[in-house]
Structure 1
């Protein structure tokens, strides 16, 4: 039986806490999320990293999206986020599952008014409209709803990524960069390896 160690017990957790904003911060990191197509190709797009905790990393999207279809078929994903000005890059690979309802609701509540509205209106039908009609539909929705009182739409989907591999890339202006890679082992521990950058 595979044991899923908590991130809190991982040797890199303190560094994650230092690199990533607290979950209460309104500005979220933009990460490049990769899923796998039915043909076996990687499919990458940017999403906001909503939260992370002792279990893993969370992101949220439209339940009708291509990424959700891909994760339903093959629940594995990876993401990367870089801070070039700080000489840092984080790469996470792992297994995915639906996020708990309470987490998804909390994450929606922490979204900006714009992103709350986007969750309701981001549909193929709206995207097909001319720009003036899209603007009017948005204005009309905002006029009828207070963003603070909006609840997540039925299409709001949360995903938990439980990491199996976490890589922290460190640059240094005086020498070559290097990567510290941590791999989850079956007995619930993390193996570490130092790699060239």
Structure 2
């Protein structure tokens, strides 16, 4: 297998300035709907990139759970690696890779913790097994075997067999408030269409085309 020979052309679509919405949230909502309508696997999956105290970046995939004019929302264990890094540096980069549509969206912004009310509302909407898993997993910390993890899951499941599963004290969420958002559409001969929205001091958005 020669990696340098693995390639394809991007021929699905083009992107021009007159096709773009005036703000990136509206544009993202339009593209997300098209991704959902195209029945892509996990259209809300996004890479979250954070940086630790030594400047080492790390990435992981989470699911976008809410979107409004303020930004992009996800939930997590607040004792996880990503949450610990966000506590030290709240600058975040998100990446939505919609390969089948030959599209990408990159979001640059800051992570703002959500209120307990917002976190509770979301947590109570999760399937009960997912709620139990949140209690059972000490996210990002070592575990000696999967059997240990499943044993902890069973213990928590028995503990909360009756009634609602309460919100863990170590469960939270973030809104990524964007200041730059890039929309990428694949183009023939690697001449891709790229547009960057940049937030201005008056909260309007400037849009410019980038070289591929």
* Helix, strand or coil at the partner of 1:167: strand
Q: How do 1:35-74 residues align onto structure 2 when only pairs under 5 Å count?
A: 35-74=50-89
CA–CA distance in 2 between the matches of 1:73 and 1:124? 18
| 1:116–1:147 CA contact under 8 A, matched in 2 | no
* Helix, strand or coil at the partner of 2:209: strand
* Helix, strand or coil at the partner of 1:134: helix
Q: How do 1:90-169 residues align onto structure 2 when only pairs under 5 Å count?
A: 90-123=105-138, 128-145=143-160, 149-169=164-184
Q: Residues 135, 103 of structure 1: CA spacing in aligned structure 2 closer, same or farther, 3 A cutoff?
A: same
Where does structure 1 lack aligned partners over 5 or more consecutive residues? 1-8, 22-26
- The reply on whether 1:18 has 2:39 as its aligned counterpart is no
| 1:61–1:158 CA contact under 8 A, matched in 2 | yes
2:99 corresponds in structure 1 to 84
**C-alpha distance after superposition, 1:43-97 (max 9, x if no partner):** 2112222211111111111111122121111211111011111122111011122
- The reply on whether 1:191 has 2:206 as its aligned counterpart is yes
More moved, 51-60 vs 166-175: 166-175
More moved, 60-69 vs 134-143: 134-143
CA–CA distance in 1 between the matches of 2:93 and 2:139? 26
Q: CA RMSD in A?
A: 2.7
Larger Rg: 2
Q: Alignment length, in residue pairs?
A: 184
CA–CA distance in 2 between the matches of 1:39 and 1:131? 31
